[in-house]
Amino acid sequence: MTKMLVTGGAGFIGANFVHYTLKHKPEYEVTVIDKLTYAGNPDNLASILEKINFVTGDLNDQALIDKLVSENDIVVHFAADTHNDNSLNDPWPFIENNILGTYHLLEAVRKHDKRLHHISTDEVFGDLELDDPNRFTETTPYEPSSPYSASKASSDHLVRAWIRSFGIKATISNCSNNYGPYQHIEKFIPRQITNILSDIKPKLYGTGEQVRDWIHVDDHNSAVHLILEQGKLGDTYIIGADNDHVNNKAVIEMICELMGKGHDWYEHVNDRPGHDMRYAMDSSKLRRELGWQPQYTDQNGMENGLKQTIQWYTDNEEWWQAEKAKVEAKYAEQGQ
């Protein structure tokens, strides 16, 4: 079997990647390392804990990372602090975990000559105006706008430098906004779903004109596996599902209708400070070179993805219920 180390595997996307791998890629023996701070939740892996090796640890623990990397064949690097608002309140954890943590991982990969795939974000590119028809590509200049996105841009640059300077075997992917099971309920889509399940009206930030190129987490993770198997070493791949025509207002109305409410059963609240207007991803390279195709694309596909996500939160109320009141109280303080 091929041994795979997944960093940040108890977080939203990382945990879904582990679930996806066990279901679709039985040739991998999976080890997860997660710091279990803000973004990591051991409950995300509870149903499969006996099928993986789980290590609670920090990427900045050099001895531990060196040992884990040496024992595995492939490293998939999800671990990162990711919340924009938190990075504005306290940038240091983002510098420490996203930049220094990636550095220590790169040094271990270099030392032991292992294959690395680095997971990044569309937020390194900044944002687009609503009337801008362009999409982000692999050659779009970086223009991060927060400590979070700047730290992810920094980690991307480190990976590219280690590829060029030291010849490590690595690839990078930048993905648009994910949704799906195990996403924290403070995030836009699960917040609205759990509001309706709690008989609370969903909350739309500002006018809701902002556009996110929403991608179901399973589509993201299928792309990552394809890059691992067929991607060209040293290359970067954009991952997007062509859902950049759907603004936040349309998403919240879709959720309301799918959950049996009127399409306008929601409230407008204060917009988020510095809310980026539009993200759009051009994944034509990934589709052309590797033959990738998302399952949940265009309006019908996104509706199917939302149905699957709504069903998961409906069936797993015990996973999110304890946090709900605290999350809503925090938003209420901000007028959101």
Residues labelled catalytic: 122-123, 148
Best CA proximity match to 184, nearest among 4, 15, 308? 15
A 10 A CB-CB count for 186 gives 16
Q: Terminal CA-to-CA distance of the chain, rounded, Å? A: 48
User: Do 146 and 84 meet the contact criterion of CB atoms below 8 Å apart?
Assistant: yes
Q: Which amino acid, one-letter code, is at 103? A: Y
54, 219 contact by CB (below 8 A):
no
C-alpha–C-alpha distance, residues 334 and 326, integer Å: 13
* Distance in angstroms (rounded) separating the CA atoms of residues 48 and 46: 6
